[in-house]
Structure 1
Amino acid sequence: MHAIRLHAFGPADNLTYEETEAPAPAPGQVRIKVAAAGVHLLDTALREGMTGPFPAPAELPTVPGREVAGTVDALGEGTDPSWLGKRVVAHLGMAPGGYAELAVTDAARLHELPDHLGEAEAVAMIGTGRTTLGILQFTDLGPDSIAIVPAAAGGIGTLLVQYAKNAGATVIGLAGGPEKVARVRENGADLAVDYKEPTWPEEVRAFLGTRGATVVFDSVGGDTALAAVDLLAEGGQHLVFGWSGAGLHDGEPLTFTEEELAARGITSEGVLGPVMIQKAGGDVRNLELAALSAASAGTLRPAVHRFPLSEAAKAHRALETRGTMGKVVLVP
């Protein structure tokens, strides 16, 4: 089979497309003929050997990637035979191996796909979709809500805009460049602005009038997030789940002291990791099921940016330079 392998930590060019031995499923596992593999911004940090929510690979070479969808083509000993031939999606958890034509995982991680849900869209929902719904557990959106969504043309941002509009909220989407702004507007945002333009906060204030935003979904940190938080009304929420705008691998999330929060009359909290899983009943599969159900029903429609598997390095470079829209997916 062909796979992307990383032999040494470093830049995107260290990702090489190679022919390698096909994996065999262990007891209780399945092997998936991969039709789509998800690429996450975190993958770019792991590629450089950095440790965060997931540890850097302990041994090299490694096949990166933790999100796959495709068809089960082989079973390990003791695995339920009914899985054979089914279209499935899975998050591989702590085990990499997704950037490949074949991948193995525990049968317990599988979700069967309905006929009308494509593999690329399923891959978007198994990771990005579950995170989006996890974030949304921390706020209650409704017709009185005014949500600011930085990185609104990204995978999570696209889904946040759709969810908020479905809830009746007013949505302000921030994106970098005219093409992305147009995409955010097409996705349903009431106002879409280019955060690269220094006057964007004034444009939002003119739109809001005497109102203030009720929630900022912050995945970017840095000056953009601070300017967005300045638009919050008293009682507003700042929900933090990333800081890509503060430096992809070495930035810091936007934080406030208790005194600063009291002076602003707002709250700020990080919503990733154990606190998100705890809110989901202690099982991340609850979020996966909800995300896949929403995509199947058409209430959430993930945006997908496809690259051939052989161009994984190009996909990483595009992510790192903010040259993508939606969820990045590799297609063997």
Structure 2
Amino acid sequence: MQVWQVHENGEPGEVMRLVDAAPPVPGEGQVLLRVRAANINFPDALLCRGQYQVRPPLPFTPGVEICGETEDGRRVLATPVLPHGGLAEYALADARALLPAPETLDDAEAAALHVGYQTGWFGLHRRARLEAGETLLVHAAAGGVGSAAVQLGKAAGATVIGVVGGPDKAAVARELGCDLVVDRRGEDVVAAVKEATGGRGADVIYDPVGGEAYTQSTKVVAFEGRIVVVGFAGGTIPTPALNHALVKNYGILGLHWGLYNTKNPELVRHCHEQLTELAARGAIRPLVSERVPLDAAADAVQRVADGRTTGRVTVVPAKEAAA
């Protein structure tokens, strides 16, 4: 089979190598899946750089989110077991963690429903307890993680403010349904949010960026607001001033979705049922902006790492990428 491997840590475009190798052999409790579609995530870039919280032994294959097919023909969603990730023709997964792929979504859309939407659902509903009528601010609203949060926020009845970087991403955020879009490159984010909310601020802030975005969040979070820390795509991990959280009376909530797979896997299945129902009635639909063949995966991971994409970039069979 063809498979991307990383033999040394560094930038994805430099260290990922496409090679021929035998399919991996399942261990106890594992299953071999034919990869139908593999979604590119920012953690794939962090894995290549050696900066992710999980550090698989070298060489390894990136790809943390796939739509795959079992030997008996079932179409499933899975987070592959590293070091045998999803940027390959075949991957390994935990048999107990397989989820049925929603019938209303094609392979690329289904692959993109898993990690980003699960993260969004847990962040907004389990951690922040977002309520209808509240204001939700989403940083990087046109990206893969942000676009999922925008759709979930709208489905929950929230007013959604999307922060983006550039006019092209602003257009995407508007199409996703944001009630207000703020282009951080040409606008004062803090002033725009305060004006839009009458000075009150946002009840829930969804932050996969960190750095300056987090600083902005602390300035526009409402009384009893909640800042959900999802990741640090901006490259800088902020050091929160807890006295500020005390004086302004807001909460800082961390979210590591992967822990639910070991701490409370039944809740992951419940979330998947909720997402499947939302997809069935058209309330959410993953934004797959690009479908690329396997041999273009390294470039795709690098572009996601550099913040040069919108929505999700998904690796699919060559004939589908060309369609």
TM-score (norm 1): 0.85
The verdict on how the C-alpha distance between 1:140 and 1:120 changes in structure 2, with shifts beyond 3 A counting, is same
Indicate yes or no: 2:73 matched with 1:97. Answer: no
The verdict on how the C-alpha distance between 1:254 and 1:177 changes in structure 2, with shifts beyond 3 A counting, is farther
Alignment-derived partner of residue 79 in structure 1: none
Alignment-derived partner of residue 244 in structure 2: 260
**CA–CA distance in 1 between the matches of 2:30 and 2:259?**
29
The number of residues matched between the two structures is 314
**CA–CA distance in 1 between the matches of 2:30 and 2:253?**
38
Indicate yes or no: 2:298 matched with 1:313. Answer: yes
Alignment-derived partner of residue 269 in structure 1: 253
Alignment-derived partner of residue 10 in structure 1: 10
Q: Provide the aligned C-alpha RMSD in A.
A: 2.4
Alignment-derived partner of residue 314 in structure 2: 329
Indicate yes or no: 2:131 matched with 1:142. Answer: yes
Alignment-derived partner of residue 37 in structure 1: 38
Alignment-derived partner of residue 199 in structure 1: 188
Q: CA deviation at 1:284?
A: 3.4
TM-score (norm 2): 0.88
**CA–CA distance in 2 between the matches of 1:299 and 1:97?**
30
* Equivalent residue runs for 1:152-191 within 5 Å: 152-191=141-180
**CA–CA distance in 2 between the matches of 1:166 and 1:279?**
27
**CA–CA distance in 1 between the matches of 2:103 and 2:269?**
21
The correspondence for 2:226, drawn from 234, 237, 241, is 237
Is the Cα–Cα contact under 8 Å of residues 162 and 181 in structure 2 kept in the other structure?
Answer: yes
Q: Could you tell me the percent identity over the aligned residues?
A: 34
- CA distances 1:196-230 after superposition (whole Å, capped 9, x unpaired): 22523322222222432211111111122212321
Alignment-derived partner of residue 81 in structure 1: none
Is the Cα–Cα contact under 8 Å of residues 33 and 91 in structure 2 kept in the other structure?
Answer: yes
Is the Cα–Cα contact under 8 Å of residues 280 and 287 in structure 1 kept in the other structure?
Answer: no
**CA–CA distance in 2 between the matches of 1:120 and 1:111?**
15
The verdict on how the C-alpha distance between 1:96 and 1:298 changes in structure 2, with shifts beyond 3 A counting, is farther
Q: CA deviation at 1:28?
A: 4.9
Alignment-derived partner of residue 127 in structure 1: 115
**CA–CA distance in 1 between the matches of 2:68 and 2:258?**
29
Runs of 4+ in 1 over 6 A off after TM superposition: none
Please say which structure displays the higher CA radius of gyration.
1
Indicate yes or no: 2:32 matched with 1:48. Answer: no
Q: CA deviation at 1:275?
A: 7.2
- CA distances 1:106-137 after superposition (whole Å, capped 9, x unpaired): 33232233433211111112211111111121
Alignment-derived partner of residue 78 in structure 1: none
**CA–CA distance in 1 between the matches of 2:94 and 2:240?**
38
What SS does the aligned partner of 2:231 have? coil
Gaps of 5+ in 1: 75-83
